[in-house]
């Protein structure tokens, strides 16, 4: 696309207004530009260390439209490749995950190792290749792979900036997440995938949207309160979930813009001692100190790492990542992530809270997905094309607030309420930057 076709779709007047044109959710040409310039030129989240912990483990997934293999070689180093045989293009690794010293393409039997090196071409002696043929030209096509705090990212762009530079301020919150256990985190067995009608950017917005909470999730919040009340009265009530009940996002918590499109919201959880980590709060304080423990156990944090993953730590602990299927359909993959070595009771609590709220089989996520559907339909009303992200603009400040300074965080901006929609400025500035960088 030409930059003139893109830049008018975001109106960014600091202190005055911030608007996006709803065609960004409905225009197939914009979607093609996003695939090329966001998903296939940038870092995207692909997996967690615990999904391929051992030498010769591999994990298959997608980066944008493209199938990839993430592998760990015999020395423990991570690699990534386009999951297509260099011979005739068949997908080589066809399972979600596995362990193999080498990969033999099921089509014509070419063999590769987990470093992508070609080891064997069937019947090479009788191949009669031209003199210019060089077997080493047929190693698997490598992509960039790196990890931070156990979270693995990949990029199809060999010139992409370093992962640490890309993650910017998000690293502080990735560390807070990872330090729940001295042994790190692990993805628990049991993956769920769901699909929804609605552009992928609604995923990136909704997971850091404090404003919708008491409307979209009214049934969830009322039910959680009712359960707690009936269990306390003990007249036949029971509550094995003990759902968290955060403070009001319209008037408390905050948000940060962390650089490169990454943003997060936080809010306090008065009943945090009912959380998996909260059950061991005193031990946590002894290990990391009061200030950090409060952030880790006592505060809901939802950290969106642009463009395709949110690290949730609040309701329970979830990694939610997505890929667009087209401009109006999205596929989401969710996992419960937990501290390694967690006590049995805390693990059970974490799982029950996870299943209660999250996922297309939980009591909350289907209501979000229903709203995405309604938005995608509403965006077809293109006679009414603009929406603003002005809520909270007056108290949105550039740089760090007091909470950020205590954390050692240097955000691009800070805001004093979790419901403020100024949080989207960071996302859409990055969206515009990446699309303009890739424009003609």
Residues forming the site for another protein (CB under 8 A): 95-97, 188-197, 216, 218-220, 222-223, 226-227, 230, 236-241, 331, 335-336, 344, 347-348, 351-352, 354-355, 359-361, 363, 366-367, 369-371, 373-374
Please check whether residue 368 is in contact with residue 375, taking contact to mean a CB–CB distance below 8 angstroms: no
184 versus 416: smaller Cβ distance to another protein? 184
236 versus 381: smaller Cβ distance to another protein? 236
Please list, residue by residue across 45-80, b when 16 or more beta carbons sit within 10 angstroms of its beta carbon and e when fewer do.
bbbbbbbbeeebbbbbbbbbebbbbbbbbeeeebbb
220 versus 312: smaller Cβ distance to another protein? 220
End-to-end CA distance of the chain: 6
Please check whether residue 296 is in contact with residue 179, taking contact to mean a CB–CB distance below 8 angstroms: yes
**CA nearest 428: which of 67, 10, 1?**
10
55 versus 366: smaller Cβ distance to another protein? 366
36 versus 355: smaller Cβ distance to another protein? 355
261 versus 339: smaller Cβ distance to another protein? 339
Please list, residue by residue across 341-379, b when 16 or more beta carbons sit within 10 angstroms of its beta carbon and e when fewer do.
ebeeebbebbbbbbbbbbbeebbbbebbbebbeebbeeb
Structure tokens at 55: 């030498």
C-alpha dist (Å) from residue 330 to 46, 171, 196: 16, 27, 6
CB of 325 to another protein, least distance (A): 11
Side by side, which strands form the sheet with 111-112? 103-104, 111-112, 118-120
222 versus 380: smaller Cβ distance to another protein? 222
Q: Is 336 helix (H, G, I), strand (E, B) or coil?
A: strand
Residue linked to tokens 């076709």: 5
CB of 410 to another protein, least distance (A): 36
CB of 217 to another protein, least distance (A): 9
CB of 373 to another protein, least distance (A): 7
CB of 97 to another protein, least distance (A): 6
CB of 367 to another protein, least distance (A): 5
CB of 348 to another protein, least distance (A): 5
**CA nearest 422: which of 6, 19, 98, 1?**
19
Q: Under 8 Å CB-to-CB from 433, ≥6 apart: which residues? A: none
Structure tokens at 20: 């996006």
17 versus 191: smaller Cβ distance to another protein? 191
CB of 80 to another protein, least distance (A): 20
Structure tokens at 177: 């997440």
């Amino acid at each position: 696309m030409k930059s003139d076709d893109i830049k008018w779709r975001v109106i960014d007047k600091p202190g005055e207004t911030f608007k996006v044109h709803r065609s960004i959710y409905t225009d197939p040409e914009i979607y093609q530009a996003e695939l090329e310039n966001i998903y296939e030129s940038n870092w995207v989240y692909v997996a967690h260390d615990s999904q391929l912990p051992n030498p010769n483990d591999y994990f298959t997934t997608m980066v944008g439209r493209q199938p990839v293999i993430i592998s760990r070689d015999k020395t423990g180093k991570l690699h990534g490749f386009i999951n297509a045989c260099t011979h005739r293009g068949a997908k080589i690794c066809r399972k979600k995950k596995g362990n193999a010293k080498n990969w033999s393409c099921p089509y014509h039997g070419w063999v590769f190792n987990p470093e992508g090196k070609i080891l064997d071409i069937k019947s090479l002696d009788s191949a009669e290749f031209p003199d210019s043929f060089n077997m080493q030209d047929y190693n698997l096509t490598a992509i960039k792979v790196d990890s931070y705090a156990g979270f693995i990212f990949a990029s199809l762009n060999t010139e992409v900036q370093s992962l640490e530079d890309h993650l910017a301020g998000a690293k502080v919150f990735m560390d807070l997440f990872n330090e729940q256990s001295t042994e790190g985190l692990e993805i628990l067995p049991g993956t769920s995938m769901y699909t929804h009608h609605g552009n992928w950017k609604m995923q990136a917005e909704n997971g850091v949207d404090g404003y919708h909470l008491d409307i979209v999730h009214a049934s969830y919040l009322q039910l959680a309160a009712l359960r707690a009340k009936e269990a306390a009265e003990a007249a036949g009530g029971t509550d094995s979930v003990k759902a968290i009940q955060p403070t009001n996002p319209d008037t408390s918590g905050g948000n940060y813009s962390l650089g490169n499109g990454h943003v997060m919201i936080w809010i306090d959880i008065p009943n945090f001692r009912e959380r998996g980590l909260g059950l061991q709060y005193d031990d946590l304080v002894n290990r990391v100190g009061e200030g950090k423990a409060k952030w880790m156990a006592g505060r809901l944090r939802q950290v969106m790492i642009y463009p395709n993953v949110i690290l949730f730590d609040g309701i329970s602990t979830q990694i939610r990542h997505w890929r667009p299927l087209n401009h109006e359909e999205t596929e989401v993959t969710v996992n419960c992530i937990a501290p390694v070595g967690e006590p049995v009771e805390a693990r059970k609590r974490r799982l029950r809270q996870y299943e209660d709220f999250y996922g297309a089989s939980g009591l909350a996520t289907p209501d979000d997905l229903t709203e995405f559907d309604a938005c995608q339909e509403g965006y077809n009303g293109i006679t009414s094309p603009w929406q603003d992200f002005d809520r909270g603009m007056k108290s949105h400040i550039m740089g760090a607030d007091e909470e950020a300074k205590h954390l050692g965080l240097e955000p691009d901006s800070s805001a004093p309420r979790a419901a403020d929609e100024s949080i989207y400025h960071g996302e859409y500035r990055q969206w515009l930057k990446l699309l303009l960088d890739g424009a003609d």
